[in-house]
Amino acid sequence: MSLSENLGRFVGALWSPVVRVGAKIRHARLLHPEGITFRGEVKALDTHAALHPLAVNVPGPALVRLSTALWRGHREWPDVLGLAVRLRTTETVTEAPAEGDQDLLFATLRSIWTLGLAPLTTDTHDWRKNDYYAVSPFEVTGLGRVKLRLVSNRDETPGQDRVERIQTAVQAGRALFTLEARPLRGELAGQWWPLAELRLVEEVTLDPALLRFWPFRTGRGIQPVGFIHSSRIPTYRQSQKARAPH
């Protein structure tokens, strides 16, 4: 573990009591307490041959949770939106992960340095009018370190609020996101490359107290690295311990 990752775990441990108390008070996650869940499908796209070690491990069924970071009750106030993806090894729709599953967590936040601006640059009225970043990099065998993001197709969809809009888009088969990778080293560094298309297929109802995304669930070999990912280890554990069914 690198110095930055050790520092991340230390900082995360300092914040863990706050996260646990906050989750206990909210009876939900302290951040991203409220969301809407979908069954999804991930299909491969044509991409550069150098990205093959990553691209071959992405396609298949998925479970997707769209969420708000701060507010509950469908308030469309300034906020950061989240998009969590579980790459599944089975078509079964359940809260419980299976062996070989991979969790990838994205938000309308380019980096930790833009955290203060993200609520002002996020379109909270439509999940599909934003791009979602994994913030911290991943290590992929045969490729090295990469960053990941999801880019929306951003077309107009009718609806009274963001929930109606995403539901309408799903029913019309237009709830699409492109998964892209940006290698941090080598000939492809500095440019985003398409890997796969994520399509939301149908809305599903799951127990939010049992559905627990974990950044270090790495069944597809996409390993989280860096300060931010490491800081999540103690905070996620405390949040999950404190979370009551709701």
In this predicted model, what pLDDT tens digit does every residue of 174-188 receive, in sequence order? 999 999 999 999 999
Mean pLDDT over all residues of the chain? 87
CATH superfamily of 34-225: Catalase core domain (2.40.180.10)
Residues 70 and 60: their CA atoms lie apart, in Å, by: 31
The Cα angle at residue 91 between residues 134 and 155, in degrees rounded to 5: 50
pLDDT band at 165 (very low <50, low <70, confident <90, very high): very high
pLDDT of residue 112: 76
More confident site: 29 or 55: 55
Q: Please tell me the predicted confidence (pLDDT) of residue 208.
A: 87
Nearest-Å Rg of the Cα atoms of the chain is 17
Give the Cα separation of 14 and 21 in Å (integer).
13
pLDDT of 1 reads 67
Lowest mean pLDDT segment, chosen from 108-117, 143-152, 189-198: 108-117
